[in-house]
Structure 1
Amino acid sequence: MATLNYQLDRVKNKNSKYTVRLIVRNGTTQSSLATPVEVLKSQWLSKPQRVKGGVRENDLLDSLLEKAQAAVKVLRNSNRLQNMKACAIIDFIKNFDTDVVGNSNGDFLEYWQSIATLHPKSATKYRYALKSLVDFNIATKGSDTILFRDITSEYIRTFLFYLKETPYIPQHYQQKNIIKYKQRSSETIATYAATLKAVLNCAIDDDKLSANVMKGFRKVSITRKSNNKKIYTLNLDELRRILNFDLSSYPLSIQMARDLFILSFCFQGMNLKDLYYLKTKNFHREDLNYIREKTGKEICLTLSEMDSIRRLEKPYSCKSNVWGEDCGNTDFLFAFQYHYTSYDSFKGMILKAVRKLRKILNYPNDFSYYTARDSWATICSVDYNLGQEHIDAGLGHSSKSLAANHYISINRDKIAQTHADILKRLFQK
């Protein structure tokens, strides 16, 4: 935690006086900033850090301290303060403009984007929520510029009603020049509202907005619909049918979607993002260890049928892939990061291909990439009577159960033996 206080310089200056310095300490680092105030030692009151009888000097010190405290508050609220050296804090204080922070003429969109950079895992959510706000501003005010002074309680209330009542053209329709409107789901509205609220709270903490703007949320009911979506799962016979289905006449994207779907199942329901960022060091012979991105839990699994699994991996590996690209000396297992511009573009392609695969296989709309994960859990439970705590551990859930959280009664060998038998049945000829 950063601390601020005034001290006299150790050495007299040319006027035989001592310069008052602002001392900044943060962690193990310390730095100082010379103030324009010069005093005799007899004039300096060390405990209250005031100049005896010096009204003008004390006003200068108070003004500088207020500026420094405001700067430190901004750094703290933006999560930059903890690892920042004291000298860097001094530089930030020197360049800190309290007028910009105190008034409401700043660019709200730039501030939004600065907050979004602090949350890279939620970048997509911040981007789409911001786009909807800009679309609203264009529709109501004819401008794509939003200043802090524009953000009022009434503005927030009107925007939330806009999300609920105004249809929009989805991006995948826009890309195809199709004019087809849809209503936003309650889940989408709640997500955008929560994202906006997070940015507003940061702006309030940074003294850029008044807390009164939050009244706009109290005037509009934002609720999420209960998730009653049916969980669709496949048994091993159906998974084997997908594995052996002849897709040679179909586009590469559909073949890839099938292979990654099966790999997800083989890796105990690995999420697509974890698959995308998988590295060669995560493998050690037949052991696969990685940190699940969603929950931060370490997943440790032992794989069997490695020859079959390697055959699924090889077409998309960095060393030899279907695109014929040389990825050089890389740590990643797959070449996805070198062939696609971003994870979002890769994910969009896979999910679109999964929908096409669903039609080819004549499966219902409930079939998705996530079906591989749900199927692994269901097979473990139904076919092998594996307890919930073991399934939670295998999937890397942030479960509320004591056993799953602390791994008190979990038998890792039991999970490994179950998974080995599942893979043996899946790849049987």
Structure 2
Amino acid sequence: MATIKVKFRPSAVNGKAGAVCYQLCHRQENKQITTSMRIFPHWWNPQKRELITTPDNATTVSAYRRQIEQDVHKLREIVRQLDATAQPYTLTDVVRLFQSDLASNGILEYLQKEILRLQDNNQYGTSRNYRRTLSSFSTFLKGTDVPLPAVDATLIGRYEKWLAQRNVRRNSSSFYMRILRAAYNKAVREKLTEQSYPFAQVYTGIAPTPKRAVSEETILQLQRLNLSGHPSLLLARDLFIFSYCTRGMAFVDMAYLKKSDIADGSITYYRHKTGQRLTLRIEPCIRSILERYLPARPDSPYIFPVITSADPEQAYRQYQTGLNYHNQKLKQLGALVSETLRLSSYTSRHSWATAARNHDIPLSVISAGMGHTSEKTTRIYLDSLNNTIIDDANRGILRDFNLTVSM
């Protein structure tokens, strides 16, 4: 009888994730099946040959454990059936039958393959969203994969009801549905299943959320705070004000903003969320923040001290850590202004949009300035919209801030 062991194969590149493998042994023959599950060395216990749960990997490891259990069960069942025939067989036969079984394209297996593809393309944010969805949907299915043709309106309707029973917010439920729908539609395009429109009857929109904007006066108060003795709060405040002054630049775009993005008095960057290219004029209030950080790390390509690694995976983890830390410091920063002031990395973006609206700036200009490519009004006006109009609008909003810098 063939034996099956779960093993970890480290990456040949230092710092990269390795792969979970299944080692098969039979009559002095050895074969290895490499899975799409990617883990780091500290996620693996070599003595017990099992995954280790850490604070940052619990969701992924939980899904991987279920997948390993399913795969090992499949392999053992294949070996049992071959042994029952009393005919000689090789490990090539075992691997062929196992891979043929995987070709049935279960939805969980397909999601795992998509996660691996996204990671290989350095799309770590989207990969993380797929992992979250995989964990939720796998829990709903109790770890049992289902073929893609079985993903129908009834199953997806049950999943939506299951989420609601667990008090999952409507927007979170919609988030899972949109990820599943994207994966399912891709499988349809790959001709792995026929289109049956299983998401037609579930909610996939975005429900309104409470306003996060604060007034222009509040942001001026934040700008005027003396934080010279508190470097971590100073960085949080500067990033917040920089975001506001740059038409609501997202934290991820500030974290990845490079010195090479500055040229001829402007900043040009590509939004991580949409890939859209945005150019904005450097106003005095923006320049004062840049002058504080540009000389600080002469050997780093990045402007702000959030990312230090050149490795894409490590850089993404540093961005995530930086975002969490930034939001913690913003809470402390808000408390310095008012006990009731709640700040987050989104507040500056929403506040700029609200200020622009209060200055009677057309919605099309606001949308273009923030890079909202999905809005119909933006699509209508973007082609003919001169970037100077957006810069002039931003200068009007930042008049008081520029005066403060000039004092």
Deviations 1:222-250 (A, max 9, x none): 36463153352321x32221123244666
Counterpart CA distance in 2 for 1:159 and 1:357 is 40
* 1:405 and 2:363 are equivalent in the alignment: no
Q: What amino acid sits opposite 2:223 in the alignment?
A: L
Q: Which residue of 2 aligns with 1:222?
A: 203
Work out whether residues 163 and 189 of structure 1, in 8 Å CA contact, stay in contact via their aligned partners in 2.
yes
Equivalent residue of 1:288, what SS?
A: strand
C-alpha displacement at 1:287, in angstroms? 1.7
5 Å matches for 1:382-393? 382-383=358-359, 385-393=360-368
Q: Which residue of 2 aligns with 1:265?
A: 244
Q: Aligned to 2:303, which of 311, 333, 350?
A: 333
Q: What amino acid sits opposite 2:382 in the alignment?
A: N
Counterpart CA distance in 2 for 1:234 and 1:151 is 51
Shift in CA distance, 211/258, structure 1 to aligned 2, threshold 3 Å = same
Q: Which range moves more in the overlay, 285-294 or 359-368? A: 359-368
C-alpha displacement at 1:264, in angstroms? 0.8
Shift in CA distance, 246/115, structure 1 to aligned 2, threshold 3 Å = same
Equivalent residue of 2:307, what SS?
A: helix
* 1:196 and 2:180 are equivalent in the alignment: yes
Q: Which residue of 1 aligns with 2:21?
A: none
Shift in CA distance, 363/393, structure 1 to aligned 2, threshold 3 Å = farther
Q: What amino acid sits opposite 2:338 in the alignment?
A: N
Work out whether residues 292 and 298 of structure 1, in 8 Å CA contact, stay in contact via their aligned partners in 2.
yes
Counterpart CA distance in 2 for 1:126 and 1:377 is 30
C-alpha displacement at 1:337, in angstroms? 1.9
Q: Which residue of 2 aligns with 1:186?
A: 170
* 1:161 and 2:131 are equivalent in the alignment: no
| Number of equivalenced pairs | 296
Work out whether residues 259 and 312 of structure 1, in 8 Å CA contact, stay in contact via their aligned partners in 2.
no
Equivalent residue of 2:240, what SS?
A: helix
Q: Which residue of 2 aligns with 1:234?
A: 215
% same residue: 22
Shift in CA distance, 105/333, structure 1 to aligned 2, threshold 3 Å = same
Equivalent residue of 2:302, what SS?
A: coil
Q: Which residue of 2 aligns with 1:24?
A: none
Q: What amino acid sits opposite 2:303 in the alignment?
A: L
Shift in CA distance, 99/381, structure 1 to aligned 2, threshold 3 Å = same
Counterpart CA distance in 2 for 1:224 and 1:391 is 22
Deviations 1:127-175 (A, max 9, x none): 21111123334xx4xxx46364895546544433322212xxxxxxxxx
Work out whether residues 334 and 342 of structure 2, in 8 Å CA contact, stay in contact via their aligned partners in 1.
no
Q: What amino acid sits opposite 2:335 in the alignment?
A: K
Q: Which residue of 1 aligns with 2:114?
A: 115
Counterpart CA distance in 1 for 2:334 and 2:220 is 15
Q: What amino acid sits opposite 2:213 in the alignment?
A: Y
Shift in CA distance, 406/366, structure 1 to aligned 2, threshold 3 Å = farther
* 1:427 and 2:405 are equivalent in the alignment: yes
Q: Which residue of 1 aligns with 2:134?
A: 130
Q: What amino acid sits opposite 1:318 in the alignment?
A: R
Q: Aligned to 1:372, which of 322, 345, 348?
A: 348
5 Å matches for 1:267-286? 267-286=246-265
Q: What amino acid sits opposite 1:396 in the alignment?
A: G
Work out whether residues 116 and 126 of structure 1, in 8 Å CA contact, stay in contact via their aligned partners in 2.
yes
Return the TM-score normalized by structure 2: 0.60
Counterpart CA distance in 2 for 1:264 and 1:187 is 25
Deviations 1:373-392 (A, max 9, x none): 23334444545x54444433
Work out whether residues 259 and 294 of structure 2, in 8 Å CA contact, stay in contact via their aligned partners in 1.
no
Counterpart CA distance in 2 for 1:156 and 1:254 is 45
Counterpart CA distance in 2 for 1:197 and 1:380 is 35
C-alpha displacement at 1:333, in angstroms? 2.3
C-alpha displacement at 1:261, in angstroms? 0.2
Counterpart CA distance in 1 for 2:151 and 2:257 is 45
C-alpha displacement at 1:110, in angstroms? 4.0
Shift in CA distance, 226/365, structure 1 to aligned 2, threshold 3 Å = farther
Equivalent residue of 2:208, what SS?
A: coil
Work out whether residues 269 and 279 of structure 2, in 8 Å CA contact, stay in contact via their aligned partners in 1.
yes
Q: Which residue of 2 aligns with 1:353?
A: 329
Q: Which residue of 2 aligns with 1:256?
A: 235
Counterpart CA distance in 2 for 1:302 and 1:186 is 38
Counterpart CA distance in 2 for 1:207 and 1:386 is 47
Equivalent residue of 2:275, what SS?
A: coil
Work out whether residues 107 and 147 of structure 1, in 8 Å CA contact, stay in contact via their aligned partners in 2.
yes
Counterpart CA distance in 2 for 1:206 and 1:98 is 22
CA RMSD of aligned residues (A): 3.8
Q: Which range moves more in the overlay, 406-415 or 196-205? A: 406-415
Deviations 1:345-398 (A, max 9, x none): 222222233233333432646643223223334444545x54444433333332
Shift in CA distance, 230/260, structure 1 to aligned 2, threshold 3 Å = same
Equivalent residue of 2:376, what SS?
A: coil
* 1:244 and 2:224 are equivalent in the alignment: yes
Larger Rg computed on CA atoms: 1
Counterpart CA distance in 2 for 1:357 and 1:192 is 33
Q: Which residue of 1 aligns with 2:289?
A: 309
